[in-house]
Amino acid sequence: MNKDLLDLLACPECGSAELMLDSSAEGSLSCASCNAAYPIHNGIPQMLPTHLAAALKLKSAYTDKIKASILEGGPPQPENHEIDRFMWEQELYCWGKEVIYRDAKAAEIFSSYAEKGAKQLCQFISTKANGLRGKSLLYVGSGNDRLVTLPLEEAGAFVVNLDVAAEPLEDLMQAGARSCICGDARQLPFRAEAFDVVFSKGSIHHSHP
């Protein structure tokens, strides 16, 4: 975990900035105010609200239920819209990679489109921030978007990538990103006014209205 994040983080449950880092093994963060605990996996603090973190432990059973329902003729009626959407996001990344990159031509078109959009966004952010060097940026719903994160870092910005699913963040870290947080945009795990710029790209449609 990038320890510079400690100056930005707050407990998503109670909002307290009194977080303590346990550096044993992979480590964890704990809140001194409400005693909530957040593990760190592969250098990424897992700062989901406690009810979502609890649901994540049932991921395999949830996936099996969805597959069985589809084989029986269709998806089940949602029992809990928030949890269903959250669990779907955990599967979406792997499914998307498989679909996009199964066909070489489709992958080429997607990559070309993504690269053009990334360059435009980086320039837009640089203009709005009056330069990037020394600025703190929060990328909400980053996924594994190395085309935006890495150029912003190379330009001197401190970029924090936030996503509700950990797997794309792990890929982003492997690509060279310095700071990633697994968390929910509706209960941000950050202190007030922690960033100079907060932005999002291609993720609003993933949120329940």
What is the extent of the structural domain holding 22?
A: 3-206
Q: Which tens digits make up the pLDDT trace of 94-110?
A: 777 777 777 788 778 87
The per-residue pLDDT for range 30-56, each reduced to its tens digit, is 999 999 999 999 999 999 999 999 988
Q: Could you tell me how far CA 69 lies from the centroid of its own chain?
A: 28
Rounded Cα distance between 61 and 119, Å, is: 40
- Does position 62 have pLDDT exceeding 80, yes or no? no
Q: Cα–Cα distance between 41 and 166 in angstroms, integer?
A: 9
pLDDT tens for 141-169 read: 999 999 999 999 999 999 999 999 999 99
Residues forming beta bridges with residue 20, ordered by sequence position: 30
Q: What is the pTM of this model?
A: 0.88
pLDDT for res 153: 98
Q: How confident is the model at residue 75 (pLDDT cuts 50, 70, 90)?
A: low
- Looking up residue 147, the CATH number of its domain turns out to be 3.40.50
Distance in angstroms (rounded) separating the CA atoms of residues 196 and 129 = 7
User: Residue 184: its pLDDT value, please?
Assistant: 94
Domain count, the chain: 1
Average pLDDT over residues 133-140: 97
- How is the beta sheet containing 136-140 ordered, strand by strand? 180-182, 158-163, 136-140, 197-200
